[in-house]
Structure 1
Amino acid sequence: MTLADPNGSRMLVFAGGLVGAAGVALSATAAHRGGAFTGTAASFLLMHAPVFLAVGLVGANRFLRIASFALLAGLLLFAGDLLARDFLGSRLFPMSAPIGGTLLIAGWLGIAISALTRPRP
């Protein structure tokens, strides 16, 4: 298997590791440098990292993997916007946090709905 495996499992494990590491680093940054947005971004990263690890390691159904990638995209936009506010003094781009938040909600709903789908033989 490579990072480009057809079902994306390794990519999700990879993303979980990076998201977790970024969350820890940003937690330390927020503690030493301050910045409410940085602390919030760190919390979001740390709370979502186990999701990517779990989905990647379980080798879940396609619907769950798609929902996980929507969650990852939302997390990157939402946390990215918060970090841009603290470190750059401006937004990532207009509506990036609301779009990211909407993707986060959609990803979580997709994860919930995936539990109702029938597994393929």
Structure 2
Amino acid sequence: MPTTMADRTLVALACLAGGLGVAASAAAAHIPGADSLKTAAQFLLFHAPAILALAGLAAVGATHAVATRIAAFALVLGLALFSGDLAIRALAQRPLFPMAAPSGGILLMLGWASAAVAAFLPVRR
């Protein structure tokens, strides 16, 4: 089954999340009291492999491809909002925008729920 541009984009974004997670972890180690940056790094590092897995599952047809990709993109957007807000707060002492972190957290939860639903949807062959 050929890989779609959506799958390749998800893989690239997951790799970006992993790299940013490593960078944020390193920065947090050198900034006293950067607990929110540590949290942002953890979320990036925990979700990067999940996004890779979802892209892989969609690409090989193991789950409903469209639903799985929607779940993965929800995780990406949720990470950008949640971790982005926490990182900006730690590094620039200002929010990304009001309610960015809670909105991102809700998107992350919806992404995980969507992934669970996608696992049970019939796969089209």
TM over 0.5: yes
Alignment counterpart, residue 16 of structure 2, candidates 10, 13, 18: 18
**Which residues of 2 match residues 29-108 of structure 1 at below 5 A?**
29-34=27-32, 35-58=34-57, 59=59, 60=61, 61-108=65-112
* Aligned: 1:118 with 2:125: no
Residue 54 of structure 1, CA deviation = 1.4
Aligned length: 118
Partners of 1:28 and 1:45 in 2: CA distance? 13
Partners of 2:100 and 2:53 in 1: CA distance? 27
- For residue 119 of structure 1, give the secondary structure of its aligned residue in structure 2: coil
In the superposition, the TM-score normalised over structure 2's length comes to 0.88
- RMSD between aligned alpha carbons? 1.6
* Runs of 4+ deviating beyond 6 Å: none
In the superposition, the TM-score normalised over structure 1's length comes to 0.91
- For residue 115 of structure 1, give the secondary structure of its aligned residue in structure 2: helix
Deviations, residues 62-81 of structure 1 (Å, cap 9, x unaligned): 10100110111011000011
Partners of 2:124 and 2:39 in 1: CA distance? 38
5+ unaligned residues in a row in structure 2: which ranges?
none
Q: Percent identity?
A: 46
